[in-house]
Amino acid sequence: MNSARKVNPRERRASLPGGLPASGSTRSDASRRALARQIERLVGTTPVFDIHTHLYDPAFRALLLWGIDDLLVYHYLTAEVLRQTDVPYDRFWSLPKARQADLIWEQLFVRHSPVSEACRGVLTSLNALGLDVRKRDLPALRRWFAAQDLNTYLDRCLALAGVERLCMTNSPFDDAERPVWERGFRRDARFLAALRIDPLVVAWPDAGAQLAAWGYGVSRSLSAQTLREVRRFLEVWTGRIDAQYLMVSLPPDFAIPARTGASQMFERAVLPHCRDHGLPLALMLGVKRAVNPELRLAGDGVGRSDLRALEFLCAAYPRNKFLVTVLSRENQHELCVLARKFRNLHLFGCWWFTNVPSVIDEITRLRLELLGLSFTPQHSDARVLDQLIYKWTHFRRILAGALTDQYSDLCATGWEPTVDEIQRDVSDLLGGAFVRFCRG
């Protein structure tokens, strides 16, 4: 990966089509193909800062998931397999991971063609790793993964995905994760932290009971003393993990200002904390948790969010920075319009159910048309290391297609983007704009 490839000035001018074609469509088609190739190369070789994943620094050991069985039992695939079989839910969950993976392989890859985005993704990753997917040989795949050394494999996955740095999702409320932070460890500089605070906002007073057990002087009611202690908790964890931003996912009906605990928690603890530390707050809007609890992690759904809450936040708190993604396709246009109104709002990612090629293509084009380059079009949300490969391979292809159309339209006006200009723009889209927003 080389981000700022040096280009000699002659190549820079020569390699791009120059404005309106002088004569006939042949020149224009050739110009467009050259432009497409150039953009494909730049998008394909620019390193990514993946701003939201569920991967862990290797120091967290077993929490960093990788390999064929974890790829297969990804919750996007468990949702699909539990439609294809009539295995009772509790029977499925009682199976060991490898047997769940067997069932998923059999049902979603062997008995039916693996055309869904989550299925195809497994194959993209395996293929990029040099494995022969035509053989449909799961035991052979397992043998290959069993022979990998994690550290070497980690480097290889990051290189194949073109990911330079990534943000984890770090929750002090997670009993597996918390003790690792408390013990301390040597950080891998490629893995940055993001402080996830859902329970504080959506599960008070249960979260308060946790804080009390950890020695914070909180009560059930959000008294001034309790909110001070919540802020102390945020201080401690922001410092401990060196958080790049705070993050929360919210249901479609989230409202603010409102006479609710969540609203108070935001206005009197979370937002002041973020302001004091100059940290953005990432809001992931529109998730309906546990629509079908029998599916466990795969059981969440989507609803159209009331974006008046976000409008209020951006307008009432101009000194706060909001990183926002919405889960509902129906919210995407409204969200772009809001982002045009507020410079403290940075859109990111095609989240979860919108992370499928047809919807990514639509959302990315809409954002380019309405916002230019001041957003971050994608994050991977990878939960399994190897997924980075497919999530970014698939996305880069869509981004290159959308950019080719945008730059072609520019060329048609007589404006000639240079290679350096396109490289600058692509670097912004793949992390640069995010970094600037966080610093600004």
- Residue numbers at the binding site for Zn ion (CB under 5 A): 381
Q: Which does 333 bind (CB under 5 to 8 A by kind): ligand RAT, Zn ion, none?
A: none
Give residues with Cβ within 8 angstroms of 294, minimum separation 6: 89, 90
Does 32 engage in binding with ligand RAT (CB under 6 A)?
Answer: no
- By CB under 6 A, the residues from 334 to 353 that bind ligand RAT are 352
Closest to ligand RAT by CB, 69 vs 381, is 381
Closest contact distance (angstroms) between CB of 78 and Zn ion is: 16
Give residues with Cβ within 8 angstroms of 232, minimum separation 6: 216
Rounded distance, CA 317 to CA 230, Å? 20
Q: Which does 352 bind (CB under 5 to 8 A by kind): ligand RAT, Zn ion, none?
A: ligand RAT
105-112 contacts at long range (C-beta below 8 A, 24 or more positions apart)? 105/72, 105/138, 107/81, 108/77, 108/80, 108/81, 108/84, 109/136, 110/136, 111/84, 112/84
Does 249 engage in binding with ligand RAT (CB under 6 A)?
Answer: yes
Q: Which does 383 bind (CB under 5 to 8 A by kind): ligand RAT, Zn ion, none?
A: ligand RAT
Rounded distance, CA 233 to CA 130, Å? 46
Does 383 engage in binding with ligand RAT (CB under 6 A)?
Answer: yes
Does 107 engage in binding with ligand RAT (CB under 6 A)?
Answer: no
Rounded distance, CA 75 to CA 288, Å? 16
Closest to ligand RAT by CB, 181 vs 352, is 352
The conformational region for residue 411 under phi > 0 = left, psi -120 to 50 = alpha, else beta, is alpha
Closest contact distance (angstroms) between CB of 392 and ligand RAT is: 15
Q: Which does 117 bind (CB under 5 to 8 A by kind): ligand RAT, Zn ion, none?
A: none
Rounded distance, CA 89 to CA 79, Å? 11
3 state SS of 48: strand
Does 173 engage in binding with ligand RAT (CB under 6 A)?
Answer: no
- By CB under 6 A, the residues from 42 to 71 that bind ligand RAT are 54
Report the residue closest to ligand RAT, judged by CB: 352
Closest to ligand RAT by CB, 282 vs 419, is 282
Closest contact distance (angstroms) between CB of 43 and ligand RAT is: 23
- By CB under 6 A, the residues from 182 to 211 that bind ligand RAT are none
3 state SS of 46: coil
Rounded distance, CA 387 to CA 261, Å? 37
Q: Which does 216 bind (CB under 5 to 8 A by kind): ligand RAT, Zn ion, none?
A: none
Closest contact distance (angstroms) between CB of 249 and ligand RAT is: 4
Q: How far is CA 192 from CA 177, 185, 189, 352, in A?
A: 15, 13, 7, 21
Closest to ligand RAT by CB, 32 vs 196, is 196
Buried b (16+ CB within 10 A) or exposed e, 61-93: eebbbbbbbbbbbbebbbbbbbeeeeeeeeebe
Closest contact distance (angstroms) between CB of 206 and ligand RAT is: 18
Task: Give the H or E element holding residue 166.
Answer: strand 163-167
Count other Cβ atoms within 10 Å, centred on residue 283.
Answer: 23
- By CB under 6 A, the residues from 278 to 317 that bind ligand RAT are 284
Q: How many residues bind ligand RAT (CB under 6 A)?
A: 7
Report the residue closest to Zn ion, judged by CB: 381
Q: Which residues bind ligand RAT (CB under 6 A)?
A: 54, 169, 249, 284, 352, 381, 383
